[in-house]
Structure 1
C-alpha cells in the first residue's frame, strides 16, 4: 500500500504493513543530506498535488536548516494549484535509488526572477530502492511483460511491461489512470520472459507513483515484491538476468 496516497496516513513514512519503515530517514541531518544531493545532481522531481491527481515536474533548488526551496512552474494555473494543495508527494531518483518525501504549507517566493516555493523541511525522506539483490534494467528492444490475474468480469488479465527485475521483485509500467486493487496483493501473475516458459508467481505492491518518461509522458510505476517465490522460478529469473548481462557485456567489449 502506498504510504503517500491521498487517503493514506498523515505520517509520510507509515504504510499499511510497515514494509517501508526500514528505508525511512527521520534524522534532520539525513533529510538535509538527501535533499542536498538532489540539489547537487539537479535531479528532476515529480510533485503529485494532494488532494487531486495532478502531478508536475519541479526541482529542489536549495536546502537549509529548517526549509526547502522548490522550483515553480511556467504555467500560472499550476502554481495556484501548488499553493492550494494540502501537501505534495515528491519523488525523484539518485543513482537508481528512489527518493520520496512530502512537503506542505508552501509559500510563494521569487528566486532570481522566477517563481519558487519555500516549505518547512520534510520530517522524513524515504529511500525505497536499496536492495540486497541485483536489479536488471530491462532492455527496451527486448521487452518483458507480466500478465496480471483475470479481471472480475471474466476478461483476460492485462499485460504490463516490466521495467526492471531482480530475484526479489520487479517494477511494472502502466498508464497514468491505471487503477490498482484496493489491497497490496496483486495475486497470481505470470511473468513472460523471452525464450522461457511462463513463470507463475505471487506479487504484492510495495509502492507506486507517477513518473515522467524522457519525452515527458506520465506513467504509473508499480514496484512489486515476490511472495514465496518457488526455487525453480528464482533460478529461471537469475538465469535470464545472467544471460542479458552477458549479452550486454559482449556488446560493450565489441564497441571498445
Structure 2
C-alpha cells in the first residue's frame, strides 16, 4: 500500500471549543502524536484492550463499530474487524477518507486514514489499512454529545439520593458524560463534586447501564414556556469497556435517527 498524501486531521471532526469557553481555540498540536513508533504503540494498546472504535466513511455518511485487531509497525499497517453488514463494509472499502474515533480510558483518540482494503485473517475477512501519519489523543474529555429524544425520554434512576430514589430525565449523552434535568432550580442535592454510585439508565433498545456519576457543573436554562430549569453535567464513574460499547451504540443509534429526520 502506498502512502496517502495531503491528509489533515485538524478538521471539523473534533470540535474546537472547550467545555468552559466554547470560543477558545483548542491547540491540537499539543495533543498530536506524529512519531510512527508512538502511533503504532498507541494503536497497539487500543487493540490489546479491545476498545470499540467507530469508523466514519464517505464524509460521515456511513459508519461501522469495530475493533483494531493487529498493528504491524515494520510494515506500517494495521487491521480492524469486519463489520456486521456487508453493504456497510462495501461502502467503507470504497471510501477514500476514513475517520477513526475511540475513547480508551476516557481519553478521546482520533485519526484519519486513506482507503482501506480487504484481507483474510485466520479464515475471516478483515480490513487492512496504513498507519495514520498523525493521531490526536486528547488529554481531556472532548466528546460528541447528542440530545436524547423528547418524545421518548430516557431517565437516570438514582437509587442513593439522600436515602431515597429519584428519576431524572437526560438532556444529552456522550462517551464522556451526560446532562440531567433537575425537577426544580432549587432542588436539593446534586451539588458540584457530589457522587451517586447507584445509577441505572435504560438505553433502549440496547440494554441497561449501571454505573456511578459525579456532578461536574450546573447550568440554569430558560425553557420555551419562560420557566427556569436546572441542568447538571455529570461524568461517569467506573466506566467499563462494555459500558463504553453500550453508550457508543446508543449514541450512534440516535445520530442515525437524527440524520433520517433531517433527510
Q: TM-score, normalised by structure 1?
A: 0.52
Q: 2:47 touches 2:69 (CA, 8 Å); kept in 1?
A: yes
**2:105 maps to which of 95, 112, 117:** 95
Aligned length: 159
**2:47 maps to which of 31, 39, 51:** 39
Distance 1:20 1:77, change over 3 A: same
Aligned equivalent of 2:10: 13
Cα displacement string for residues 178-219 of structure 1 (whole angstroms, at most 9, x for unaligned residues): xxxxxxxxxxx9456xxx9848xxxxxxxxxxx963483324
Q: 1:145 touches 1:161 (CA, 8 Å); kept in 2?
A: no
Q: TM-score, normalised by structure 2?
A: 0.50
Distance 1:144 1:68, change over 3 A: farther
- 2:123 and 2:83 mapped to 1: Cα distance? 13
Q: 2:8 touches 2:112 (CA, 8 Å); kept in 1?
A: no
Distance 1:215 1:164, change over 3 A: closer
Alignment of 1:115-194 (within 5 A): 115-130=125-140, 140-141=156-157, 159-160=171-172, 163-164=177-178, 190-191=219-220
Alignment of 1:45-84 (within 5 A): 45-65=53-73, 66-84=76-94
- 2:173 and 2:248 mapped to 1: Cα distance? 18
Q: Any unmatched runs of 5+ in structure 2?
A: 1-5, 17-24, 142-154, 159-166, 180-191, 194-217, 222-227, 232-243, 256-263
- 1:121 and 1:40 mapped to 2: Cα distance? 16
- 2:85 and 2:77 mapped to 1: Cα distance? 24
- 1:161 and 1:18 mapped to 2: Cα distance? 22
RMSD: 3.6
- 2:84 and 2:173 mapped to 1: Cα distance? 33
Q: Any unmatched runs of 5+ in structure 1?
A: 1-8, 132-138, 147-158, 168-188, 200-210, 221-256
Distance 1:112 1:23, change over 3 A: same
